[in-house]
Amino acid sequence: MRYSKYLSVAKINVTERLHHSSNLAGRALVVMVRIWIFTTLYTATYRTIHATTIHGIDVAGIVWMLVFAQSFRQSGWPNTAAIIETEVKSGTLAYSINRPYSYLLFHFWSYFGRVGPNLLINIGSAALAGIIFVGWPSISLASAGAGLVLLAMSFVLDFFCACAIGLLAFWTEDTSAFQWLYFKGQLIFGGLVLPLALFPDALRRVAEWLPFPAMFYSPARLLVSYDGALFKWFLLMQVAWTSVAILMAVFLFRRGVRNVEMNGG
């Protein structure tokens, strides 16, 4: 039962999150209002150009994409990069190396422990807003399947990217600048406010090579309507970027730990 310890790690994080339920309720309200604003914004936008669909997606589709993308994005909270940064700086990391588990795997499962309940609550409140403002989404079996696959992978990708950023704390005093850049990348290219589907064509083709759309935008996009070619493309991007992120994280971790051992922290 080597892996049951990681299950326990995930479980304790679930309980911990549930204890902050009033906190989560507040967040949920914020999400509801935000969806309300988006509905209004895109309804007005579509009306201005006298369109009912753009690239085959109507206002409801756009709103649902945002519902999904934002809920997924929010669910990784609290921020993994910041957690790891704190542990690197406080020396907790060096200490936990002596424990009988893998540091990266420990955090990986902590992350998923947080994601579970957060996802339920975030999706719950945001989807409620979606249903109220634009009606039920039309999710086909294919789009659901594709969406779930991409979703799982996008969490893995996000985790390892955040991990790598947090580990930079071995070398820089403060990683918040990198965290900012990462979040802003997600904000602009991650479909959190403006889905990539609505980007000007040239810009979209460039942006699709970035890791950010491969995160939470990709499952959101596929859940709303299935597109085989797009699914394959996103999956390819996810696998590629996740490999890069894992390699980076492991490399930075090993290097960092070795630095500490040699220089005594």
Partner 1 sequence: MLPWKHAVKRIRLSLYFTRTNILAAMEFRTSFIVQVIGMLVNDAAVAMLWYIFFQSFPGVNGWGWQDTAILMATSTLSFSFVFIFFKGAGDIAVIVRQGELDYYLAFPADVLWHVSASRSRIDAIGDALFAFGIFFLFTPVTFVTFAVFLIASLAAAGVMYGFTVVTQSLAFYTPNIEDASRDLFELLLGFSFYPQNIFTGGIRAVTIFVIPAFFTATIPHRLIAHFAWPALGVLVLAAIIAVTVAILFFRYSLRRYESGNLMVTRG
Residue 62 or 163 with smaller CB distance to partner 1: 62
Output 37 or 148, the one with its CB closest to partner 1. 37
DSSP state of 76: T
Q: Per CB under 8 A, does 210 bind partner 1?
A: no
4 touching partner 1, by CB under 8 A = no
- Please answer whether residues 158 and 215 qualify as being in contact, where contact means their C-beta atoms are separated by less than 8 angstroms: yes
- Residue 233 is a binding residue for partner 1 (CB under 8 A): no
Cis peptide preceding 78, ω within 30 of 0: yes
The helix/strand/coil state of 56 is coil
Q: Give the residue carrying structure tokens 């921020």.
A: 79
Q: Where are the beta strands (DSSP E) in the chain?
A: 53-54, 57-58
Selected from 7, 44, 152, 239, the binder of partner 1 by CB under 8 A is 44
Report the largest interatomic distance among the alpha carbons of the chain, rounded to a whole angstrom. Answer: 65
Q: Does 23 bind partner 1 (CB under 8 A)?
A: yes
CA–CA gap between residue 92 and residue 69 (Å, rounded):
33
Tokens 């895109």 -> residue? 42
Using CB under 8 A as the binding rule, whether residue 89 contacts partner 1 is answered as no
Residues in the interface with partner 1 (CB under 8 A) total 32
Rounded to whole angstroms, the Cα distance separating 224 from 215 reads 15
Say whether residue 265 binds partner 1 (CB under 8 A): no
- Interface map 177-196 toward partner 1 (x if CB under 8 A): x--xx--x--xx----xx--
User: Of the candidates 77, 83, 116, 176, which one interacts with partner 1 according to CB under 8 A?
Assistant: 176
**Residue in the block written with tokens 């085989």:** 228
Taking contact as CB under 8 A, which single stretch among the options 9-17, 38-46, 68-76, 221-229 is the one that binds partner 1?
38-46
Q: In DSSP terms, which residues pair with 53 in a beta bridge? A: 58
192 Cβ partners below 8 Å, 6+ apart? Answer: 66, 69, 70, 73, 186, 216, 217
Give the per-residue contact string, 134-173, with partner 1 (x = CB under 8 A; - = no).
---------------------------------------x
Instruction: Establish if 37 lies at the interface with partner 1 (CB under 8 A).
Output: yes
**What residue ranges bind partner 1 (CB under 8 A)?**
22-23, 26-27, 29-30, 33-34, 36-37, 40-41, 44-45, 47-49, 173-174, 176-177, 180-181, 184, 187-188, 193-194, 198-200, 203
